[in-house]
Every structure is written in structure tokens, then in C-alpha cells.
Amino acid sequence: MFTLGNQYGAGTGSTLAHESAGSGSPEKNSGWWRTFHDKFVVEERYVDPADRRRLYRASVILAVVGVALFISTLISVVQADGLSSADIPVRDWLLAERSDAVTAAMIFLAVVFGPVVLPIIVLVVIVAWSIAAKHAWRPILLASAMLSGVVISQIILQIVRRSRPPVDQMLFGVDQTFSFPSGHVLGACDFLLVGTFLIFSRRRNNRAAVLGFIGAGVGIVLAAVSRLYLGYHWLSDALASFSLSLLILGGVIALDTWRTARIPGEAITGELSKAESPRD
């Protein structure tokens, strides 16, 4: 497990009012323009050199595991063996477990993680986070990850063109679009995994980070089970979505670390980041 948020000088009492930008007109260094400008000055933070190495290592491992798992799943789907051999047994088991109460719960989950409600939730979170935070880097990174997932899934859907389970097994309307990978599951994975990392990467409490990722895992499982239970996807569809999300998460960790993580001796450039960093 990599260490999150073990950074120097977090939460110092310095304010931007005592920090001089050193250039520009007074109008640009105060008021709404200063606030708007600083939102888009990338957040920088000091971390231990060992922590930065661990973050880079974690990003590589996640990307490699994600690519390997996706390729294995794709090959099994194309050849109709391997990992995809569990698709029909899992579907039959879920069909046998259907009940009115469980179906209602699964429909609720499908709506929450669906193409209407989830984007609204993501938009509200990103906008609120951007307004409340000193920096907009992390909300922008979350939005970019979500958009990347949508683009990647749409490309793969058109390339693989896999059929969904029979329509007479679908419990929430007929859907005859392609199934591999699951957009619902990929969206849930990206939002929960990337969001959890971006939140806890700035905190020192590793126990809270572990609990956060456990909660994200539970949400991902619920999103995947709802799609399988309602008859819209195969198990391998959900597995492919999870593997793609691991790749995206690895990319986010690498990009965030490269752009924001500084070790003692390296320069901090953003004015707000300077205000929050320890003095030399």
C-alpha cells in the first residue's frame, strides 16, 4: 500500500495577503481576478522523497495490472473461454436469486450509477469542489478522468461490438446497444477510485485512506452486481471496466505526482502553494 499525503507544512497559518506575486497590475493581484487566477495555478505540495517514489511505483503497477487484466479479459471474450467462461454460470445464479425487493434495490443502484444521475452527481461534486477549494487542479483532474473513461469505453464498444444478454432477461427496459465494457461500471469505478485518491492524497491519515478505498470498492461491487442482476451485462464486461479504471487511476496518480509533488530542495511556484508550504 502506498502512503498518501505525508507532506510537509500542511495547514500553515500564512495567508495570501502577505504573499507578493511580484508582477502584474494591482487589479490583477486582488479581488475576483486573483481568486480566478489562483484557482488555475496548479497546486504544489512537499512530500517525502520515498513517498513520491511510492506514488510513481503505485501508478506503474496499477497501469500494468489494468492493461494485463483488460487484455486477458478481451482475449477470453473473443475466444469465448478463460475468464468469460464464468459469464453464463454467474448470470444463471443471479437469475435464480431474483426477487421483488432485490430487483427494486438493483434498479435504484442502476439509476444512481446510470448515464443521467451519475453525470449530474459528478458535475455537482466538481463544481462545488472547484468553488470551495483554493485550487481547481484536483476537480479538473477528476473531470478529465471521467471524460477519458467515456471516450475509451465508446471506442472499445464500437470495436468489440459484443452483444448483451437476451433482452427477455432485462428488468429495466430493453437495451440493444453493445455491452463490452460496461459504461455504468466504468463510470462508477472512475468516480469512486479517482475521487478517493484525489481526496486522501492530501491527507496524512492512512487509515482513513484505506477506509475510503474500501468504501469505493463496495460501491464498485454494487454497481457491477446491479448491471449483472438486471440482465444488461456479462461478468466479463464489468471486469473489463474495472481493469480500464485501474489504468486511468494509474495515469491520474502519475500525472498528479509529476505536476504537484515536490521534495525538499525543489522550487514551489504557485503563490497559494507558497503560502501553504514551509519556509526555507
- The pLDDT of residue 30 is 57
Dump pLDDT digits (tens) for 7-49.
444 433 333 333 333 344 444 445 677 767 677 777 788 888 9
Whole-number pLDDT of residue 94:
92
How much is the pTM?
A: 0.83
Across 179-200, b (16+ Cβ under 10 Å) vs e yields: bbbbbbbbbbbbbbbbbbbbbb
* Rounded CA separation 160/7 (Å): 44
**Contact partners, residue 279, CB within 8 Å, separation at least 6:** none
Provide CB contacts within 8 A for 280, sequence distance 6+: none
Rounded distance between C-alpha atoms, residue 270 and residue 264, angstroms? 16
User: Would you give per-residue pLDDT tens digits along the chain (280 residues)?
Assistant: 455 544 444 433 333 333 333 344 444 445 677 767 677 777 788 888 999 999 999 999 999 999 999 999 999 999 888 888 899 999 999 999 899 999 999 999 999 999 899 999 999 999 999 888 888 899 999 999 999 999 999 999 999 999 999 998 899 888 889 999 999 999 999 999 999 999 998 887 888 999 999 999 999 999 999 999 999 999 999 999 999 999 999 999 999 999 888 888 887 776 556 545 554 4
Query: In whole angstroms, what is the distance from residue 97 CA to residue 112 CA?
Result: 22
Distance, in Å, from the CA atom of 72 to the CA atom of 75, rounded to the nearest integer, reads 5
Intra-chain end-to-end CA distance of the chain, in Å = 31
Domain map (residue ranges) of the chain: 16-276
If we measure between CA atoms, which residue out of 180, 175, 186, 220 comes closest to residue 87?
Answer: 180
Kindly list the distances between the CA atom of residue 47 and the CA atoms of 5, 21, 114, 224, 239, in Å, as whole numbers in the listed order. Answer: 7, 24, 37, 36, 34
User: What local confidence, expressed as pLDDT, does residue 8 receive?
Assistant: 46
